[in-house]
Amino acid sequence: MVLQTAITKMFNIKHPIIQGGMHYVGYAGLAAAVANAGGLGLITALTQPTPEALASEISLAKSLLKPSAPGALGVNLTILPMFSSVDYSAYKDVIISSGLRAVETAGRPPTDFVKEFKDHGIKVIHKCVTTRHAKSAEKMGVDAISLDGFECAGHPGESDIGNFVLQAQGGRELSVPFVCSGGVGTGKQLASVLMLGASGVNMGTRFMATEEAPIHEGIKKALVETGSGGTTLVMRSVKNTERVFKNETAEKVRQIETEFPGEFDKIHEYVKGENYRKSFQETGDVNSSIWSCGEVMSLIDEVLTCEELIEGMVAEAEEALKQGPSFIQSKL
């Protein structure tokens, strides 16, 4: 049995599971492992220091694909207003010339890029935290939406809408296919969002706890061992909310924000990306930096291969969906 949805058809993948873009995580090895397991694996563009480095990373990912891999590769391009010095157009050109057929956009609306991507046969899925934003993205011409709930790692926006409501809104209001992003890590969750109208799921934190994720074992250990309540929110005072691992550094940032609300310069040294790059790639110290992770931590019991994770989730979803008819009883 195979779960075939609008998303599997759109991206030509076996399973309706996407590995979302993650800074300092979305490298070639992880993306290729997801594609080899039948999902859509995304290379994170801005993790690469230059467009030329992104081109090399895409080439490496392609070389790691198995013959006739059941999944596909794509690129995440997050357009961040605070990083206006980044040559986003050059990264866009690399994606177009790569021959890949999928791109996930996030951050600022990709108005300037959507038509060009589509003119080159690239399907665009845009990440949104409200259906209002999603409907604006539809008007831009994106092919699909990743609806990102408040449970997610990283930036959940400022509207604080949980996925149980957000996905139901998507089912009512959107005309293009959408996937559920944030707080997902099990097959039963996959089955439930399909019933709410989604065509699949986008996962970040859960893919961090896989064997192929290129992060320190200390971080993976924390993802497995930390239960409910293990995340917190920082940068709320500067309206750039981020869900992160609850640790000493995060609590310090929260305290500074209480004392100096809205003053980003007071917290900049604690939240800069280089800090958590060191945690992820060098030290494995879970307390020394601000690093993104989602509430799905409470559902992570072990580190699996990408294939074990995806196949297990799909099998669990199929079993849950098979049970559906048992709840329908004939009238007496």
Please report the DSSP string for 190-219 in residue order. HHHHHHHT-S-EEESHHHHTBTTS-S-HHH
* Helical packing angle, 88-98 and 51-64, nearest 10°: 30
In this predicted model, what pLDDT tens digit does every residue of 217-256 receive, in sequence order? Answer: 999 999 999 999 999 999 999 999 999 999 999 999 999 9
pLDDT at 330 over 90: no
For the segment 51-73, the average pLDDT, to the nearest whole number, is 97
In this structure, what token pair is assigned to residue 210? Answer: 């896989």
Query: Is this structure's pTM higher than 0.85?
Result: yes
Amino acid letter for position 147: L
Task: Find out whether 244 and 231 touch, Cβ atoms under 8 Å.
Answer: yes
215 phi, psi to nearest 5 deg: -125, 160
Amino acid letter for position 324: G
E strand or H helix at 306? helix 306-322
Mean pLDDT of the chain: 95
For the segment 261-278, the average pLDDT, to the nearest whole number, is 92
pLDDT at 325 over 90: no
pLDDT of residue 6: 98
E strand or H helix at 284? none
For the segment 174-199, the average pLDDT, to the nearest whole number, is 98
Helix H, strand E, coil C: the string for 34-63 is HHHCCCEEEEEHHHCCCHHHHHHHHHHHHH
Non-local CB neighbours of 324 within 8 Å, separated by 6+ positions: none
Q: Is 118 exposed, middle or buried (0-12, 13-18, 19+ CB in 10 A)?
A: middle
d(CA 286, CA 26): 19
Least Cα distance to 29 among 91, 68, 73, 67 occurs for: 73
Least Cα distance to 164 among 206, 204, 133, 192 occurs for: 192
Question: In sequence order, what are the beta bridge partners of 65?
Answer: none
Task: Find out whether 31 and 38 touch, Cβ atoms under 8 Å.
Answer: no
pLDDT at 87 over 60: yes
Task: Find out whether 28 and 64 touch, Cβ atoms under 8 Å.
Answer: yes
Q: Is 138 exposed, middle or buried (0-12, 13-18, 19+ CB in 10 A)?
A: buried
pLDDT of residue 83: 53
In this predicted model, what pLDDT tens digit does every residue of 249-259 receive, in sequence order? Answer: 999 999 999 99
d(CA 280, CA 93): 29
Residue 324 banded pLDDT, cuts 50, 70, 90: confident
pLDDT at 280 over 60: yes
For the segment 255-278, the average pLDDT, to the nearest whole number, is 93
Question: In sequence order, what are the beta bridge partners of 73?
Answer: 41
Looking at the chain, how many residues does it have? Answer: 332
pLDDT at 204 over 60: yes
Residue 84 banded pLDDT, cuts 50, 70, 90: low
pLDDT of residue 81: 66
Least Cα distance to 43 among 33, 63, 28 occurs for: 28
Task: Find out whether 305 and 33 touch, Cβ atoms under 8 Å.
Answer: yes
pLDDT at 30 over 60: yes
Taking the CA atoms of the chain, what radius of gyration do you get in angstroms? 19
Which 8-state DSSP code applies to residue 94? H
pLDDT at 82 over 90: no
E strand or H helix at 269? helix 268-271
CATH number corresponding to 10-214 = 3.20.20.70
Domains in the chain: boundaries: 10-214, 217-295
d(CA 199, CA 179): 5
pLDDT at 29 over 90: yes
For the segment 312-331, the average pLDDT, to the nearest whole number, is 91
Which 8-state DSSP code applies to residue 280? I
